[in-house]
């Protein structure tokens, strides 16, 4: 089903506003009314009401929800793509009215550029002193890029979103994250099979490791769903589970209760610099060129 956003936004009754789209996108990103409300600094009833109003206006059920579960319907997934485009277009229109130069906002969900983060920021400041480059950590699958919160984003893993342009900067080896007192934490290296039968800390928002990466007969016994790096580290340090991540996490997030152990034979994690297709911040091409330069050097 296709939606005419001009009609939705400009109908005589004005029952649907941009805030409805933002509420829906926060729900779609977090798959939780509670976490969406926290992200938007709204009450849970306000977010639930916005979703109901949007469904009533479109005449379409956008999400299946129960007490313990929320998932987008096929119509909701299709609507999400168009809602992201509508919100991005609105934010871009406002951005072009602001005095230039404005800061260049670079999003990331975790670990930024790993060991390349400081060289990238320092070199940008030296070469482009008139335009500030500001990092934004946003717990979101595109680090706020599709919502228009940032101008570009450092993203890991495979990308499947339409309307995004990605430059592959490099790859990072995977490491296991284990409680510091775990016997396996004393090993010099591990393979995925060494972790079979244990509980995996699964970042459901922006993670790059799933149980499917283990052999079918040697997978983790279960998963603990987690939505951000801080909670991921806390759960591992507490001994509830183990994690698998890229080496950048070990560089950027040392933790006294967690030990990182190299994983042999595990697929490397690709790192992309991503921006939206179409007009954007005029300094984004300079950032792309500099990121390739920095990642091409030894950190």
DSSP letter string, 52-82: HHHHHHHTS--EEE-SS-EEE-HHHHHHHHH
Through-space distance between the first and last CA atoms of the chain, rounded to whole angstroms = 49
Residue 275 has pLDDT above 70, yes or no: yes
pLDDT the model gives residue 207: 86
Same domain, 276 and 259: no
What is the per-residue pLDDT across 34-85, written as a single tens digit (0 to 9) for each? 888 888 888 889 999 999 999 998 889 999 987 678 889 999 999 999 898 8
Same domain, 15 and 80: yes
Same domain, 149 and 225: no
Same domain, 247 and 288: no
Same domain, 257 and 199: yes
Same domain, 155 and 290: yes
At 96, give phi and psi (nearest 5°). Answer: -75, -10
What is the per-residue pLDDT across 76-112, written as a single tens digit (0 to 9) for each? 999 999 898 888 888 878 766 656 568 999 999 989 9
CA neighbor of 37 nearest in space, from 50, 55, 56, 18: 50
What is the per-residue pLDDT across 142-195, written as a single tens digit (0 to 9) for each? 999 988 899 999 999 988 777 889 999 999 999 999 999 999 999 999 999 999
CB 52 within 8 Å of CB 35? no
Question: Distance between alpha carbon 35 and the CA centroid of its chain, in Å?
Answer: 14
Residue 8 has pLDDT above 60, yes or no: no
- Residue 299 pLDDT level (bands cut at 50, 70, 90): low
Same domain, 27 and 15: yes
DSSP letter string, 148-199: TS-SEEEEES----TTEEEEEEEEE-EEEEEETT-GGGGSS-B-GGGGTTSE
Tell me which of 12 and 218 has the higher pLDDT.
218
CA neighbor of 48 nearest in space, from 68, 29, 20: 20
Return the DSSP state at 41: T
Same domain, 79 and 227: no
Return the DSSP state at 297: S
């Amino acid at each position: 089903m296709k939606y005419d956003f001009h009609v939705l936004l400009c109908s005589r009754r004005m029952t649907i506003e941009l805030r409805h789209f933002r509420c829906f996108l926060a729900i779609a990103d977090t798959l939780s009314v509670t976490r969406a409300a926290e992200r938007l600094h709204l009450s849970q009833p306000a977010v639930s009401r916005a979703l109901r109003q949007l469904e009533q206006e479109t005449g379409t059920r956008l999400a299946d929800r129960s007490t313990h579960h929320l998932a987008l319907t096929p119509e909701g997934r299709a609507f999400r793509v168009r809602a992201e485009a509508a919100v991005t277009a609105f934010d871009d229109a406002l951005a072009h009215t602001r005095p230039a130069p404005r800061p260049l906002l670079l999003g990331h969900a975790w670990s930024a550029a790993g060991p390349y983060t400081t060289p990238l920021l320092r070199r940008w400041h030296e070469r482009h002193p008139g335009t500030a480059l500001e990092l934004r950590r946003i717990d979101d699958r595109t680090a706020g890029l599709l919502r228009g919160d940032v101008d570009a984003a450092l993203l890991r893993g495979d990308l499947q979103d339409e309307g995004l342009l990605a430059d592959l900067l490099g790859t990072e080896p995977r490491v296991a994250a284990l409680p510091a007192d775990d016997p396996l934490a004393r090993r010099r290296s591990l393979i995925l099979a060494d972790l079979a039968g244990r509980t995996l800390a699964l970042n459901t928002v922006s993670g790059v490791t799933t149980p499917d990466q283990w052999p079918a007969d040697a997978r983790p016994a279960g998963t603990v769903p987690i939505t951000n790096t801080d909670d991921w580290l806390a759960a591992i340090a507490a001994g509830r589970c183990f994690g698998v991540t890229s080496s950048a996490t070990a560089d950027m997030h040392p933790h006294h209760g967690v030990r990182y152990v190299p994983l042999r034979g595990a697929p490397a994690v690709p790192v992309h610099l991503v921006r939206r297709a179409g007009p954007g911040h005029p300094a984004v091409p300079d950032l792309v060129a500099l990121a390739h330069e920095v990642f091409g050097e030894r950190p």
